[in-house]
Amino acid sequence: MLESLLIASQVILWIAVIFLAVTVYALSRQLARLFERVPPAGALSVNALLQPGDNAPIMEINDLNGDTLQIGGARAEHCLLFFLSLDCPICKSLLPVVQSVAAAEQVELIFISDGARLEDHRRFAHGHGLERYRYVLSEAVGMAYAVGKLPYAVLVAPGGTITTLGIVNNREHLESLFTAKDIGVGTVQQYVEEHVQRPN
Amino acid sequence: MDTLAWVYFYTSGWSVVVILGLAALHKLRFSGEFIGALAGYRLLPPAALGIWWIVPLLEMLAVVEILFSQGQSRWLALALFALYGAAITINLLRGRQHIDCGCGGDGTPISWGLVLRNAVLLAFTWPPPIPGAGLTTATGSLVTITVAFCLLAYVIVNQLFANAAR
Q: Give the full edge-to-edge strand order of the sheet including A79-84.
A: A134-137, A108-113, A79-84, A152-156, A162-167
Residue pair A64/A122 in contact by the 8 Å Cβ criterion: yes
Q: Is the pLDDT of residue B25 over 90?
A: yes
pLDDT tens column, B131-163: 877 678 888 899 999 999 999 999 999 888 888
pLDDT on residue A30: 87
pLDDT on residue A197: 61
pLDDT tens column, A133-158: 888 888 888 888 888 778 888 888 88
Confidence band of A58 (pLDDT split at 50, 70, 90): confident
pTM of this prediction exceeds 0.80: no
pLDDT tens column, A10-57: 999 999 999 999 999 899 888 888 877 765 555 666 666 777 878 888
Confidence band of B123 (pLDDT split at 50, 70, 90): very high
ipTM value for the complex: 0.76
**Nearest-angstrom CA–CA distance, A3 and B3:** 9
pLDDT on residue A179: 81
Confidence band of B98 (pLDDT split at 50, 70, 90): confident
Q: Average model confidence (pLDDT) for chain A?
A: 81
Residue to mutate among B6, B111, B149, B155, with most A CBs inside 10 A, is B149
pLDDT on residue A184: 74
**Nearest-angstrom CA–CA distance, B35 and B49:** 7
pLDDT on residue A39: 57
**Nearest-angstrom CA–CA distance, B67 and B86:** 26
Using a CB-CB distance cutoff of 8 angstroms, which residues of chain A are in contact with residue B136?
Answer: 1, 5
What's the length of chain B? 166
Range A148-177 average pLDDT: 83
- Give pairs for B29-37: CB < 8 Å, separation 24+: B30/B104, B33/B102, B33/B104, B34/B102, B36/B100, B36/B102, B37/B99, B37/B100, B37/B101, B37/B102
pLDDT on residue A104: 84
pLDDT on residue A70: 84
pLDDT on residue A130: 83
pLDDT on residue B1: 64
pLDDT tens column, B47-59: 888 888 999 999 9
pLDDT on residue A91: 81
Cα A149–chain centre separation: 14
Q: Do B149 and A26 touch (CB under 8 A)?
A: no
The residue of chain A with its CA nearest to that of B7 is: A8
pLDDT on residue A42: 56
A12 in B contact zone (CB under 8 Å)? yes
Using a CB-CB distance cutoff of 8 angstroms, which residues of chain A are in contact with residue B145?
Answer: 12
What's the length of chain A? 200
Q: Is the pLDDT of residue A199 over 80?
A: no
pLDDT on residue A41: 54
| Residues facing residue A70 across a β-bridge | A60
Q: Is the pLDDT of residue A196 over 70?
A: no
Lowest mean pLDDT among B17-26, B27-36, B61-70: B27-36
If you average pLDDT over each of B37-46, B63-72, B104-113, which comes out highest?
A: B63-72
pLDDT on residue A147: 83
pLDDT on residue A148: 77
How many percent of chain A have pLDDT more than 90? 8
A23 in B contact zone (CB under 8 Å)? yes
pLDDT on residue A17: 94
Number of A/B CB contacts below 8 angstroms equals 38
For B7, which of A8, A23, A26 is closest by C-beta distance?
A8
